[in-house]
A = this chain, B = another copy of it.
Amino acid sequence: MKRIFFTPGPSQLLPRVPGYLNEAIGQGIPSLSHRSEEFRSIYKDTASGIRKVLGAPDGMHVFFMGSATEAMERIIQNCVEKESFHFVNGAFSARFFKIAQLLGKNPIKIESPMGNPFDFSSVDIPKSAELICITQNETSIGIAIKPENINRLKKDHPNALLAVDIVSCAPMVELDYSQVDMAFFSVQKCFGLPAGLGVLLANDRALQRSKELQTKGVSIGSYHNFQWMAEDEIKFQTPETPNVLAIYLLGRVCAQFLQKGIERVRADCDEKAALLYGFFDAHPLFHPFIEDRSSRSKTVIVIAAPQGSQPIIKKLKERGLVIGSGYSEYRERQFRIANFPAHSKDQMRALLDAISTLS
């Protein structure tokens, strides 16, 4: 049976990705040396495409790594001597905090009651915080932070670095990247690709900080410290043999988004999000977990199922429609639906029709 994956990542591949993959194989991309001219050209094109789809400044460095979780580790290692500050509102922001703890830092957090937005007017970030970490879109519970609240953090705290987790919202969310020092995402969400590549954007300020820490004798890691990565990036190379194929595919997907127009890509996402939330707001059994409408994620729709989520997940699966369970402790009481560019409006309608019929 052919399945459609509405899971919050890994998820459905963009329809053109299998074609890109076969073109890559035909051209020998997976066999290219990562020191070759051809690979350097791929790195350059993909990095440029990423900056364009996000609207990030030309000067932002683009580093490739294994996963977004790795990006969290590298950010803490390279930018924090003692203290980071974390907005924690779900499992992934909690993970960022935990990584800082495991690396022997002294992270501080503000937590919002699960599913509720932060009150930015009352957040007290200590002056001693070297880095502020925030998750724009919490893949675990589907809560999103308004871009204006992120853009303002830098103005209010000019001495701290700002790192934004855009794992499951890039490139849908429009941030002012001149106000962001680091941002990171993975490719199995909105970019509709197989998992196995994390992307970290970092500006010169972040690199400068990494250099200062290194000079002070703080361990900033080894082959993936910002200094070593930047030395290779100048040559459009990476310290290690990277996921060449995924870097190539990501470049193709960025080009596809740019050709369509990123505004159009975002508008499609908004339209499908409105369809989904409209449906569940009116549903007798299920309702959006995030009550505050302006804090609802457009890309990961989390639905509360007070009478249990597993029966509907199972019934949909039998029809080849794969949605996600609730994350961790919400497994039995929520389900999650990804709304990525790989999901067409027709597929969304078909999913909602099936939910109507089966619930």
Q: Residues of A at under 8 Å CB distance from B?
A: 3, 5, 7, 9-13, 18, 21-22, 25, 28, 30-34, 65-70, 72-73, 76, 95, 98-99, 102-104, 186, 188, 193-197, 219, 221-225, 239-246, 322, 324
Chain B residues with CB below 8 A from A193, complex form: 30
Cβ contact of A67, chosen from B66, B72, B186, cutoff 8 A:
B66
Are the CB atoms of B103 and A242 closer together than 8 Å?
A: no
Are the CB atoms of B12 and A31 closer together than 8 Å?
A: yes
Chain B residues with CB below 8 A from A9, complex form: 241
Chain B residues with CB below 8 A from A324, complex form: 33
Are the CB atoms of A242 and B195 closer together than 8 Å?
A: yes
Cβ contact of A22, chosen from B22, B33, B239, cutoff 8 A:
B22
* Distance between Cα atoms of A263 and B223 in the complex (Å): 36
Most buried by B among A28, A66, A72: A66
Chain B residues with CB below 8 A from A7, complex form: 31, 33
Known: A66-B66, A73-B223, A240-B67. A5 touches B22 (CB 8 A): no
Say whether chain A's binding surface is mostly helix, strand, loop, or mixed: loop
Nearest-Cβ distance from residue A198 to partner chain B, whole angstroms: 8
Are the CB atoms of B196 and A196 closer together than 8 Å?
A: yes
Are the CB atoms of B244 and A195 closer together than 8 Å?
A: yes
**Chain B residue at minimal CB-CB distance from A223:** B69
* Distance between Cα atoms of A245 and B195 in the complex (Å): 7
Given contacts A3-B28, A10-B31, A10-B32, 13 further A-B contacts (CB under 8 A): A5-B28, A7-B33, A66-B66, A67-B241, A67-B242, A68-B241, A69-B240, A70-B224, A73-B224, A76-B222, A102-B223, A103-B219, A196-B246
Chain B residues with CB below 8 A from A221, complex form: 73, 102-103
Are the CB atoms of A195 and B243 closer together than 8 Å?
A: yes
Chain B residues with CB below 8 A from A245, complex form: 194-196
Are the CB atoms of A242 and B25 closer together than 8 Å?
A: no
Nearest-Cβ distance from residue A91 to partner chain B, whole angstroms: 12
Nearest-Cβ distance from residue A74 to partner chain B, whole angstroms: 10
Chain B residues with CB below 8 A from A31, complex form: 3, 5, 7, 10-13, 322
**Chain B residue at minimal CB-CB distance from A27:** B3
Are the CB atoms of B34 and A10 closer together than 8 Å?
A: yes
**Chain B residue at minimal CB-CB distance from A10:** B31
* Distance between Cα atoms of A156 and B222 in the complex (Å): 30
Are the CB atoms of A241 and B186 closer together than 8 Å?
A: yes
* Distance between Cα atoms of A219 and B99 in the complex (Å): 11
* Distance between Cα atoms of A76 and B69 in the complex (Å): 20
* Distance between Cα atoms of A106 and B193 in the complex (Å): 41
Nearest-Cβ distance from residue A146 to partner chain B, whole angstroms: 26
